[in-house]
Structure 1
Amino acid sequence: MSGLLDGVTVVELASWTYVPSAGAALSDWGADVIKVEDVRGGDPCRNLIVGGLDPADSRVHASVLMEIGNHGKRSIGVDIKSAMGRTILGELLGRADVFLTNWLPGPLARAGLTVPQIREFNPDVIIARGSGQGSRGPEKDRGGFDAASYLARAGVAHALTVADQEFPVTQTPAFGDLQGGITLAGGIAAALFHRERTGHAPIVDSSLLAQGMWAVAPDIAAADYFGIDRIPVGPAGTAPNPAVNRYRTRDGRWVQLVLLQADRFWRGFCERIGRPDLGVDERFTPLANLVVNQEAATAELRHTFAEHDLSHWQQALANEPGVWATIATPREVLDDPQAQANGYFLTVTDDAGQQYRTVSAPVQFDETPPPPTRAPEYGEHTEEILLELGMDWDQIIAAKDAGAVL
């Protein structure tokens, strides 16, 4: 039942990853997402170099971020600033359920796509907007990327940077974008439900700033409640509860413990790691004593975990009822049997016959993964979509000759 949004048409006028990733999620859930790209090169994300990785060195013909943020869509190349292109966009919007965009208010107004103008094409279309800082206020027309609007401005970097670090934490590509995109997709789904119930098509707004603030909402609330800049944390590698901490193994890997109810799990855990003495040590039981003597307990656990490789601890803790996990590498995640069993990967074949995997939207319905789909080539579906709009081949050729479509 991955096609809950079968029959829903989304017209996407957006680039990069944040808002397009919302469209990818809607596509995973069954919507027909039509990506409108310009006639001068399309979404700049198509040419983005991630982490200095040369696409020529990849074993597959696919762009990492383009696939994640755009799989399952259809692409049409249109010059929406031309009269013919605007007519085509109007036809698309007239048939759409959702207009999804990351264009800021100023560019939308210059393109003749204010809310009233969009409503002229279709009074029932849901308008969904994703921005850096929100659709109102003095900086509504200021652009944003997740490293700035999410990580920096929303307080995420400050909240995650420990006191003895020389530099603030950084992020992997699209870290805030993808969180923001799935949130925006959820908002659109709620708007579709509301329209179905009431007939009213709401405007949906979200931003990277809002997403970042939500990610560190406890820190922001504590700042107000206690007049502090962050929830107190100890030096790197420490934790108030030593049973909720990370420990390095002999081979340089890490085990994350999350034994929040230490009184429930501590004794059995200590037996499993070969230290039954710690389980009955009065310094470490009950939890209040474990917290008071956290330095001694942490030192004992560090020493113990450093005696064996990760494989030993994975076997020793296999039946541990408390929560723990290996700090996995992305390559290990590709082989995670739990991720595979739940269909969290989309396995696609490129034009050279090479299979590659990307990650699907993190919500499924009736335990059914979405069908595997790739991102569209630039303008790949232009003619197909124009034919669906009722244009004949002479009209399509004329539009191409005029530069109105790709």
Structure 2
Amino acid sequence: MTAVMKGLRIIEVAEHALVPVASAVLADWGAEVIKIEPLGRGDASRGLTSVKAGGMHVMHHHSNRGKRSLALDLSVPESREILYRLVETADVFLTNKLPRVRAKLRIEVDDIRARNPNIVYVRGTGLGEHGPQADRGSYDLLAFWHRSGASMATRSPEGQIPFLPAPGFGDSLGAMTIAGGIMGALFHRERAGEAPVVDVSLLATGMWAMSGAISVAIADENWKWPPALKNPLSEIYATGDGRWIALCCLQAGHYWPYLCEAIGRPELAEDPRFQDHESLLANAGEAAAILTEVFAERTLEEWSRALEGFIGQWSPVQEAREVAADPQVDANGYLQPCVTAEGDEVRLVAPPVQYNGQAPVPGRGPDYNEHGDEILGELGFDWDAVIDLKLRGVVA
């Protein structure tokens, strides 16, 4: 893949997922990323056992692929000086520390730009940079999923609120937003000579995902989603093996004859109740009842074969494990291999943007402080100086 971010240096002071995934995306695209981890414990996400699989911390590699790690105690002036020296060599500084923590560690915009006025400064937060709750920490489960209205919009007919669909669900979406914001800021810096400050929050990302609902709800207080059944060709139907198949043919009248042929019921295309778009929608309940019976007659695999030639829009409803085996995923390189330091191979989802038709191959996430000595050497510290810093607890 074309390394569009080659030559870009990023310094990251962040933990967990939102901001680290953003710099991981840029690393996949060729950027050099130096991850500053807290001395002693490292990124807090390293301790999350809930996202480990088969003894491997897969989410660590998802969030930190292709980076180098240096552990510093940023509460110590000498450690901060090392950070500042790195900042002088960088194009982008990313952090997800809360405002009060940034002030305490002296990594606010003015602190960083005192050493590099031309650096793009990026803040990823839970609830936004301003307002009475700016200093309140959050996670994607809360800010992206629940507070944005997404979980309420996907509640069951019985009113049960669903849990977040996947680990880092909102973080990964917000991270792509941050990556795009960084690229826009770099473009502006090149064209206008000014380095902007970039802000992205989980709440804002969740609201953007829910923007259609939020905007319509503001305009019409009686509006509800999803709408009542109006189009039988835009529904989910249970198959005979307890699975589901989804149709989304918005031009129902146009696609109805083709669907009738595909499901082996061509006579339904001539049924006066369904003979054109208007009559089909007027009798949507009856059409849906027929489709419910028909789809229950075969398994999902059988229907997937039967509908292969159907020109309308449909999809099997898949679990995560099935997505990994989807031939369309394989054909487009949407999953890529990553080899860990122990030699184990994990497969990671590639960033959704490809350049010149190729998906990037991700590097692994670094071990804690794996590149500390190497990075300090690049800054001009000789071995004696590095040993002295270690003995005094300045670096790991």
Q: If the length of structure 2 is used for normalisation, what is the TM-score?
A: 0.96
Name the residue aligned to 1:124: 118
Report the Cα offset of residue 372 of structure 1: 3.1
- What SS does structure 1 have at the residue aligned with 2:353? coil
Q: Can you list the C-alpha shifts for 1:331-384, whole angstroms capped at 9, x where unaligned? A: 211122221121212202234433220112111111121123111111111111
CA contact (8 A) 1:222 1:228 kept: no
Report the Cα offset of residue 87 of structure 1: 0.8
Name the residue aligned to 2:193: 199
Which of 264, 271, 288 is residue 281 of structure 1 equivalent to? 271
Bigger mean CA offset, 336-345 vs 74-83: 336-345
| Cα distance in 1, alignment partners of residues 200 and 222 from structure 2 | 27
CA contact (8 A) 2:253 2:280 kept: no
User: Which amino acid in structure 1 is aligned with residue 203 of structure 2?
Assistant: L
| Cα distance in 2, alignment partners of residues 198 and 351 from structure 1 | 42
- What SS does structure 1 have at the residue aligned with 2:114? helix
Name the residue aligned to 2:375: 385
Report the Cα offset of residue 229 of structure 1: 6.3
- What SS does structure 1 have at the residue aligned with 2:348? strand
2:306 paired with 1:316: yes
User: Which amino acid in structure 2 is aligned with residue 207 of structure 1?
Assistant: S
Moved over 6 A (4+): none
Residues 352 and 5 from structure 1, CA distance in 2 versus in 1: closer, same or farther, beyond 3 angstroms? closer
Name the residue aligned to 2:392: 402
2:162 paired with 1:169: yes
CA contact (8 A) 2:337 2:361 kept: no
Report the Cα offset of residue 232 of structure 1: 5.0
CA contact (8 A) 2:341 2:364 kept: no
RMSD: 1.5
User: Which amino acid in structure 2 is aligned with residue 45 of structure 1?
Assistant: S
Which of 285, 307, 314 is residue 295 of structure 1 equivalent to? 285
CA contact (8 A) 1:265 1:322 kept: yes
CA contact (8 A) 1:24 1:361 kept: no
User: Which amino acid in structure 2 is aligned with residue 209 of structure 1?
Assistant: L
Name the residue aligned to 1:48: 48
2:338 paired with 1:348: yes
User: Which amino acid in structure 2 is aligned with residue 168 of structure 1?
Assistant: I
| Cα distance in 2, alignment partners of residues 177 and 241 from structure 1 | 34
User: Which amino acid in structure 1 is aligned with residue 160 of structure 2?
Assistant: F
Report the Cα offset of residue 285 of structure 1: 3.3
1:6-405 aligned within 5 A: 6-50=6-50, 55=52, 58-59=53-54, 61-162=55-156, 164-171=157-164, 172-228=166-222, 230-234=224-228, 239-405=229-395
Q: Can you list the C-alpha shifts for 1:78-128, whole angstroms capped at 9, x where unaligned? A: 111112101100011111100011011111111112211111011011001
Residues 130 and 352 from structure 1, CA distance in 2 versus in 1: closer, same or farther, beyond 3 angstroms? closer
Report the Cα offset of residue 280 of structure 1: 2.0
- What SS does structure 1 have at the residue aligned with 2:75? coil
- The number of residues matched between the two structures is 395
Q: Can you list the C-alpha shifts for 1:30-72, whole angstroms capped at 9, x where unaligned? A: 111111001121111111122xx7x4xx44x531221111111
Residues 49 and 286 from structure 1, CA distance in 2 versus in 1: closer, same or farther, beyond 3 angstroms? farther
Q: If the length of structure 1 is used for normalisation, what is the TM-score?
A: 0.94
| Cα distance in 2, alignment partners of residues 321 and 70 from structure 1 | 41
Residues 325 and 106 from structure 1, CA distance in 2 versus in 1: closer, same or farther, beyond 3 angstroms? same
CA contact (8 A) 2:253 2:278 kept: no
User: Which amino acid in structure 1 is aligned with residue 357 of structure 2?
Assistant: E
| Cα distance in 2, alignment partners of residues 228 and 106 from structure 1 | 41
| Cα distance in 2, alignment partners of residues 232 and 338 from structure 1 | 29
Bigger mean CA offset, 123-132 vs 258-267: 258-267
Report the Cα offset of residue 292 of structure 1: 2.1
| Unmatched segments (≥5 aa) in structure 2 | none
| Unmatched segments (≥5 aa) in structure 1 | none
User: Which amino acid in structure 2 is aligned with residue 189 of structure 1?
Assistant: M
User: Which amino acid in structure 1 is aligned with residue 316 of structure 2?
Assistant: T
Bigger mean CA offset, 354-363 vs 86-95: 354-363
| Cα distance in 1, alignment partners of residues 92 and 76 from structure 2 | 23
User: Which amino acid in structure 1 is aligned with residue 297 of structure 2?
Assistant: E
- What SS does structure 1 have at the residue aligned with 2:35? strand
| Cα distance in 1, alignment partners of residues 224 and 88 from structure 2 | 48
CA contact (8 A) 1:2 1:28 kept: no
- What SS does structure 2 have at the residue aligned with 1:346? strand
| Cα distance in 1, alignment partners of residues 99 and 283 from structure 2 | 56
